[in-house]
Amino acid sequence: MPDPSKVERKAAIDAYKRRKVVGGIYVVTCVPTGERWVGAANDLSTIKNRIWFSLGTGSAPWASLQKAWKAHGADRFTFAELESLPDDLEPYAREVALKERLAHWQTELAANTI
């Protein structure tokens, strides 16, 4: 008989692989300064954790965001999804749409890009 923990782990991995992935545009805002950084992600459900982790470890590749994070602290930043893409886009169309929408939001919010 298989180990129950291995069965549960396999089921969790299978569920993760089958989940619906939604891509789109997001914004990170420094509340005290009003500075904003916009980015595009193929998976909006995981991007905040990835960004917060890299900022928290000091390994973020975005110098201005890392500097603001260090100056103000994690609790002074917000994360918001600005727009999601239709899930039926082909990979190439998805990449083009992400680039176009990112450029739009960067201009609209006068934001830096991530």
Q: Where in the chain are the domains?
A: 22-113
pLDDT digits (tens, 9 = 90+) for 81-96: 999 999 889 999 999 9
The Cα 7–Cα 3 span in angstroms is: 7
Give buried/exposed letters for 28-45 (b at 16+ CB in 10 A, else e). Answer: bbbeeeebbbbbbbeebe
Q: Would you state the pLDDT for residue 14?
A: 77
The topology (CATH level 3) of 22-113 is GIY-YIG endonuclease (3.40.1440)
Predicted TM-score of the model (pTM)? 0.83
Tokens of 105: 């939001």
pLDDT digits (tens, 9 = 90+) for 8-65: 888 888 776 776 789 999 999 999 999 999 999 999 999 999 999 999 999 999 999 9
CA distances from 33 to 17, 29, 76, 112 (A): 39, 8, 10, 13
- Pairing outcome for strands 77-84 and 24-30: antiparallel
